[in-house]
Amino acid sequence: MNLNTVTLNSSEISSAQLLNWFESEAPAQHHLVYVSNESAIDHAQIGVFQQLSVALSAKGLTFVLVSEQLTYDDLPESIFLCPTLEEANDLIEMEAIQRDLGI
């Protein structure tokens, strides 16, 4: 499984930097972003994550945000959220199985 895992440690990273990095470094991989408890995510970054999630889904790939501090109420429905890295990896595997089965 092609998986790109990133740890977001700072809210000082601009949304343009995030989008540029994801598109140039790992365009054909599943993306798992771990948000450290010290990081705050702003609406612009959530917008970038939503763009990535929709774009990756169209390619048959998965985007997962890993955070203990965020809730589903904080995010659009198109973004998967898991509290742990293990659960995020399981979710990516389940998504791949569903795609293989045509579900």
Rounded-to-integer distance, Cα 38 and Cα 21, Å: 21
Per-residue pLDDT of 91-101, as tens digits, reads 999 998 998 89
Of 44, 62, 41, 45, give the one whose Cα is nearest residue 53. Answer: 62
Of 86, 28, 76, 70, give the one whose Cα is nearest residue 49. Answer: 76
Rounded-to-integer distance, Cα 28 and Cα 22, Å: 10
Domain ranges of the chain: 3-101
Per-residue pLDDT of 56-67, as tens digits, reads 888 888 999 999
pLDDT at residue 87, rounded to an integer: 95
Write the CB contacts of 23 (distance below 8 Å, at least 6 apart in sequence). none
pLDDT at residue 77, rounded to an integer: 93
Kindly report the CATH class assigned to 3-101.
Answer: alpha beta
3-state SS assignment for residue 6: strand
